[in-house]
Structure 1
Amino acid sequence: METADVVVIGAGIIGAACAEALSAAGMRVLVLDRGAPAGGTTAGGEGNVLLSDKAPGPELELAVASRRRWPELLESLRAEVGDDLADVEWEPKGGLVVATDEDAVGPLGILAEAQRVAGVEAIELDPSAARAMEPHLTEGVAGAVHYPGDAQLQPVLAATALLAAVRARGGEVRGGAEAHGLVFDAFGSVSGVRLGDETVPCGAVVNACGPWAGHFSVAAGAPIEVLPRRGMVLVTAPLPQVVGRKVYAADYVAAVSSSDVDLQVSSVVESTATGTVLIGSSRQRVGFDEALEVEVLRRLARSAVKLFPVLSGVPVMRTYGGFRPYTPDHLPVIGEDPRFPGLWHASGHEGAGIGLAPATGRLLADLMCGREPEVDPVRFRVDRPAVIAEVRT
């Protein structure tokens, strides 16, 4: 493809969802990634599609729209690219949030009630009901809330399916292609993307670089505050079913919304379709430092055993990590940059990108095409004070 209507920079789940929605709107789309498509943050994700960890507000609205859209989107992908490419291991298995001390029961119930008002199904359970739902759960359960709407999928497969649809519609996906900056016309609007010595003419560019979105925004001359926040995950050897759904401790919600730089660990345990158990969750702001910290892994293991004592002594098969795209106000950046017409951003979803991807892609496509958006875009705008940054010299 020598020209494109839109160039999407970043072939992770958010870039793939934006590219799919834009191509569905009839645009010629070129997707660029400096590495392998879906090989960055998306490959390091657990595949969570969650409503349970979000308080009422704009992110929950985006999550509800995405949760509604995922099954519809997967059905349309099956019809377009075939069952094999559209098989993303979708599991609408629900989630269970657990309070392991009495002090956490009240706040958990208050959050659940607020979520119900916002349209989320949240069923409060006493300890015996929680253990009946998850028999291997610790006996130290003080209370729990069941969220039937929580789901999981395989994130690399999901991104691959979305990109397959882009290709099927005449678009192109290029790995190993790093964008170095933008080209502007005489009026200051985006007119192309620089790839080394090559320039790809286009009418719009989407910065969907995930944790690297801040870096690319600087290269584009329009800085935004998107920073990396590292997380680690342990993967056990395959087991008979120990966990039926996503289960996490109530303090996980606070960790997600925290701005602390220091390491935070909260118990998150879930099974996969292959029988392995994923153990998280850690959050740490260390830049792009990839060094493996044994203490983080120890704390993850201890927190999981506290929630599910049956995991004590189970061998860990591997560990992996990645960088989540973090914004200071914990909301994604979705929209056109007011400094340069034609430059759009879709990033800052932190650990919720898998769950928020379909609605993010639809919202960006609605805004770009001048359609009435399903979700109010105001709180995600680029020019809010927490996100827009000055050029630093």
Structure 2
Amino acid sequence: MAAHPDVVVVGAGVVGAACAEALTAAGLRVTVLDRGAPASGTTAAGEGNVLVSDKEPGPELVLAQHSLRRWRVLLPALREELGPELAEVEWDAKGGLVVATTAAGAGSLTAFAAAQRQAGVRAEQLAPDRVGELEPLLTPGITAAVHYPEDAQLHPVLAATTLLAAVRARGGAVRAGVAALGLRRAAGGAVSAVVTSAGDLPTAAVVNACGPWAGAFATAAGAPITVLPRRGVVLVTGPLPPGTVRHKVYDADYVGAVASGDADLQTSAVVESTRAGTVLVGSSRQRVGFDDTIRVAVLRELARKAVALFPVLADVPVQRAYGGFRPYAPDHLPVIGPDPRVAGLWHVTGHEGAGIGLAAATGQLLAELLTGAEPHVDPTPFRVDRPAVLTGAEVRA
């Protein structure tokens, strides 16, 4: 590119890629930087969930609902723009099934689904004796079940690379293996360049989309925020016959684990198939810093809970296990917006395990805010200058 970029996006995961795509769609010149390969960090360790089923009524659910609608429009448009070879993301509108196996869990799930319906979510209560119509191999010990037909899945790496392909097609640049080290600022304090491992890159706007490493980049940029890594692990089975698991199926206690701020290990049964025929088994959440050790005890707990839901999995071989770090904000809301301390610095992070599902609306919102367009959702709950994001970070800095 002959001219310097209007915006530099730091981080080529699915959230950074969605921001870059939306910015180029708005006519801006964009360069995306990543210290590694695109989509090789948190995105590569994701399951590809596009969910409304796990979110209680509130700002994150609103963002998820808009993102679901946005993915459904954006993906066909990118396929038309780029062609099928560059825009295949393995979208699967499989729907979700949330189940309870205790009387207490049944009451909680029923109340949760009722509140979601009031917020516009399609949450269809099923009698326990009808669950087998959707999942014939599910345990018969179900006390309550809710079907979420809007839930979907895509391949997270393919989604990110498709978004980045659109950036390149519109004249943008994606530079892998280039680390962003900090910012240069003009005399008035505004951003003038990104300091990188390959030299300074002049620009007037920088988007911090570094996922769980966003706190470190924010500190290097002189504007610390509280975003912490939260470790998650997934088991992958060998290929199974089609129809073994037909939906994304999880136990109702998954919702509580998502909303918890506890640093200790939490696990809940989450089971879903992939287009390749394997079954993904999760989920775990644990704050252990950036320790990437795969702990056998965690894998055993995941396997035990999955078999409790699907007894057929008891004799299925595990092909591999993988883990990743998710960007966690203490109040469980994404961080999307301008930094009030450094003109030209924007933060887009804190989505934890929902980044893939929320990415489409997040990118659109970031582009709207940066260009001054009318935002499609209220950005206030996601602002950078809320206490949960700034207070602890300012003290540590």
Shared fold by TM > 0.5? Answer: yes
**Matched AA of 2:65:** V
1:10 aligns with 2:14: no
Determine the C-alpha separation between the residues in 1 that align with 2:360 and 2:154: 13
The match for 1:288 is 290
Give CA deviations for 1:4-38 in whole Å, capped at 9, x if unaligned: 10000000000000000000000000000000000
1:324 to 323, 326, 335: 326
**Matched AA of 2:396:** R
The match for 1:336 is 338
Q: Structure 1 residue 313: deviation in Å?
A: 1.2
1:27 aligns with 2:28: yes
- 1:381-392, aligned counterparts within 5 Å? 381-388=383-390, 389-390=393-394, 392=396
Determine the C-alpha separation between the residues in 2 that align with 1:85 and 1:147: 30
The match for 1:37 is 38
**Matched AA of 2:18:** A
**Greater than 3 Å deviation, 4+ residue runs:** none
The match for 1:177 is 178
Give CA deviations for 1:98-133 in whole Å, capped at 9, x if unaligned: 001111111111111111111110000111111221
2:370 to 356, 368, 371: 368
Give CA deviations for 1:258-294 in whole Å, capped at 9, x if unaligned: 0001100100000000100000000000000011100
Q: Structure 1 residue 391: deviation in Å?
A: 5.9
**Matched AA of 1:336:** P
Distance 1:25 1:64, change over 3 A: same
Alpha carbons 2:11, 2:208 under 8 Å: kept: yes
Determine the C-alpha separation between the residues in 2 that align with 1:225 and 1:258: 17
The DSSP-based 3-state class of the residue aligned with 2:183 is strand
Alpha carbons 2:178, 2:198 under 8 Å: kept: no
1:246 aligns with 2:248: yes
2:382 to 377, 380, 383: 380
Give CA deviations for 1:346-373 in whole Å, capped at 9, x if unaligned: 0000000000000000000000011110
**Matched AA of 2:291:** D
Determine the C-alpha separation between the residues in 2 that align with 1:40 and 1:229: 13
Determine the C-alpha separation between the residues in 1 that align with 2:129 and 2:327: 38
Unaligned runs of at least 5 residues, structure 1: none
The DSSP-based 3-state class of the residue aligned with 1:346 is strand
The DSSP-based 3-state class of the residue aligned with 1:83 is coil
- 1:61-140, aligned counterparts within 5 Å? 61-140=62-141
Alpha carbons 1:99, 1:142 under 8 Å: kept: yes
**Matched AA of 1:166:** V
**Matched AA of 1:225:** T
The match for 2:313 is 311
Number of aligned positions between the proteins: 393
Alpha carbons 1:218, 1:391 under 8 Å: kept: no
**Matched AA of 1:392:** R
1:50 aligns with 2:51: yes
The match for 1:162 is 163
Q: CA RMSD, aligned part only? A: 0.8
Alpha carbons 1:12, 1:40 under 8 Å: kept: yes
- 1:177-256, aligned counterparts within 5 Å? 177-196=178-197, 198-240=199-241, 241-256=243-258
Determine the C-alpha separation between the residues in 2 that align with 1:252 and 1:166: 35
Alpha carbons 1:203, 1:342 under 8 Å: kept: yes
The match for 1:261 is 263
Determine the C-alpha separation between the residues in 1 that align with 2:254 and 2:354: 13
The DSSP-based 3-state class of the residue aligned with 1:31 is strand
The match for 2:272 is 270
The DSSP-based 3-state class of the residue aligned with 1:4 is coil
Q: Structure 1 residue 208: deviation in Å?
A: 0.1
Distance 1:197 1:168, change over 3 A: closer
The DSSP-based 3-state class of the residue aligned with 1:255 is helix
Alpha carbons 1:19, 1:361 under 8 Å: kept: yes
TM-score by length of 1: 0.99
Give CA deviations for 1:180-219 in whole Å, capped at 9, x if unaligned: 0001111111111001361100010000000000010110
Alpha carbons 2:95, 2:151 under 8 Å: kept: yes
Determine the C-alpha separation between the residues in 1 that align with 2:57 and 2:132: 28
Determine the C-alpha separation between the residues in 2 that align with 1:283 and 1:197: 36
The DSSP-based 3-state class of the residue aligned with 2:66 is helix
